[in-house]
Amino acid sequence: MKKVLIIGAGGVGNVVAHKCAMVPEVFGEITLASRTVAKCEAIAADVKARTGRDIATAAVDADNVAETAELIRKTGATLLINVALPYQDLSLMDACLEAGCDYLDTANYEPKDVAKFEYSWQWAYQQRFLDAGRSALLGSGFDPGVTNVFTAWALKHHFDEIHTLDIIDVNGGDHGHAFATNFNPEINIREVTAECRHWEDGEFVETAPMSKHQAFTCPEEVGTYEIYRMYHEELESLVKHIPSIKRAQFWMSFSPNYLKHLEVLQNVGMTRIDEVEYQGQKIIPLQFLKAVLPNPGDLGERTKGRTCIGNVITGIKDGQPKAVYVYNICDHEKCFEEVGSQAISYTTGVPAMIGAKQMLEGAWRKDGVWNMEQHDPDPFMADLNEHGLPWTCIELTPEQAASFAVA
């Protein structure tokens, strides 16, 4: 019987707990742990009500390696699913090595004091995971995660060589708040205010945040949205592992309202991540802002509309130019009905469960530290269709690919 330990009881942790509970033949025993055990208990009660399964709960500080290693040993988990925050990635990898456990996460490590998105810290664990005979899977959410798998699958089945990659993340949902983020506000705002980087002819090119944007029309009447080019971590691993890629860009939709609020918050200093002195106390403005913004985990009940996330990929097949668009559309209200979360948490939590399933079943369990595109995409793609994130691949003419207007 396979035992897993899920760390983090936020919006994504809620989805992972529910989805793992729905696959009892793979996830035999589940423990959900977070700093605040009451959050885990509330999720466990909902899992019981919806699926009839009992999951154990525990309190843990994931920054504390010894404490987490002790919990891993106590639960007997062979896989730790990290859906806490990117700050905890390294301490949780350390705890896994100490206690002899495999590791999975959905976001790359970030130091708290500088918004820096790169895999170098985690890739540096390669030898230690190899020596310990343990496996780590990095970035098993949607983006990164499914977008990496879409790319690997397209390379396997549609191309001899991929030349351009445009990952387009549209959230057509509306939660009715003046301003809220769909996942952890601190992490989200650090990401969208960072310098933009995209890959072009063998190097990353830096441009000002949000400086390039255009309209994008999603399929299946999801709508037309303004998408903004920004840096996203999967670009780094994808261009490393698929070196034929000449240009890679990441785009995300933002409403004018979101951008207006963000600009004001930035201008008044509320998105700063350095300490400021306030009434004799040191506070970090962005952390204070998080405390006053709506909790992303509570948005599910009021969010309507759909997300549409996918990759436009061009390249060569049998000497001929070829283009495809692989995408998933996900309905916020349906997610809420199924697991009590909106689609952003859902589209992250389901791939985390599927990545964990691949590791526990053995298809994706290799010693060392791996990004998603380094594994065989086929079983993962099949599971997306099975477990709530069905995808579609359409072939585009080169002219149509150009009309996706992401050059």
State the residues that interact with ligand NDP by CB under 6 A. Answer: 7-13, 34-36, 39, 60-63, 83-86, 88, 106-107, 141-145, 183-184, 187, 296-297, 344, 348
CA–CA dist 155, 76 (Å, integer): 38
CB of 142 to ligand NDP, least distance (A): 4
Least spacing, CB of residue 354 vs ligand NDP, in Å? 13
User: Which residue do the tokens 């201008």 mark?
Assistant: 267
Sign of torsion, CA 155 158 161 166? negative
Give 106-143 as a DSSP string.
SS----TTS----SHHHHTTHHHHHHHT-EEEE--BTT
Shortest separation between residue 10's beta carbon and ligand NDP, angstroms: 2
Kindly tell me which of 13 and 315 has the beta carbon lying closer to ligand NDP: 13
Residue 370 identity: W
Task: Identify which of 299, 25, 29 has the alpha carbon closest to the alpha carbon of residue 17.
Answer: 29
Tell me how far, at minimum, the Cβ of 339 lies from ligand NDP, in Å: 13
The minimum distance between CB 65 and ligand NDP, in angstroms, equals 11
Question: Which C-beta is closer to ligand NDP: that of 33 or that of 196?
Answer: 33
The smaller minimum CB distance to ligand NDP, of residues 145 and 172, is found at 145
Nearer Cβ to ligand NDP, position 104 or 323? 104
H runs (alpha helix) in 214-372: 234-241, 256-267, 285-292, 332-339, 343-361
Decide if 25 contacts 387 (C-beta within 8 A): no
> What distance in Å separates the CA atoms of residue 349 and residue 361, rounded to the nearest whole number?
18
CA distance 138 to 147: 13
Q: Which residue is nearest to ligand NDP (CB)?
A: 10
Q: Which is nearer to ligand NDP, 237 or 348 (CB)?
A: 348
- Closest approach of ligand NDP to the CB of residue 202, in Å: 26
- Measure the CA–CA gap between 51 and 338, rounded to whole angstroms: 10
Name the residue nearer to ligand NDP (CB basis): 47 or 344.
344
10/300 with CB nearer ligand NDP = 10
CB 297, min distance to ligand NDP, A? 5
Q: Which of 94, 81, 147 is nearest to 356 (CA)?
A: 81
Q: What tokens appear for 251 in the block?
A: 């785009």
Helices 377-386 and 146-157 meet at what angle, rounded to 10? 120
The conformation of residue 296, written as its DSSP 8-state character, comes to G
Pick between residue 84 and residue 242 the one whose CB is nearest to ligand NDP. 84
* Distance in angstroms (rounded) separating the CA atoms of residues 196 and 117: 11
Nearer to ligand NDP, 192 or 323 (CB): 192
Instruction: Count other Cβ atoms within 10 Å, centred on residue 24.
Output: 14
| DSSP string computed for 1-16 | --EEEEE--SHHHHHH
Residue 49 host element (H or E)? helix 37-51
Shortest distance in whole angstroms from residue 89 CB to ligand NDP: 8
**Min dist. Cβ of residue 56 to ligand NDP (A):** 16
Closest CA to 119 of 132, 130, 105, 109: 109
Q: Is residue 304 within 8 Å of 173, Cβ to Cβ?
A: yes
Q: Return the number of the residue (185 or 285) whose C-beta is nearest ligand NDP.
A: 185
Q: For residue 171, what are its two tokens?
A: 């959230």
Please, what is the minimum distance in Å from the beta carbon of residue 237 to ligand NDP?
12
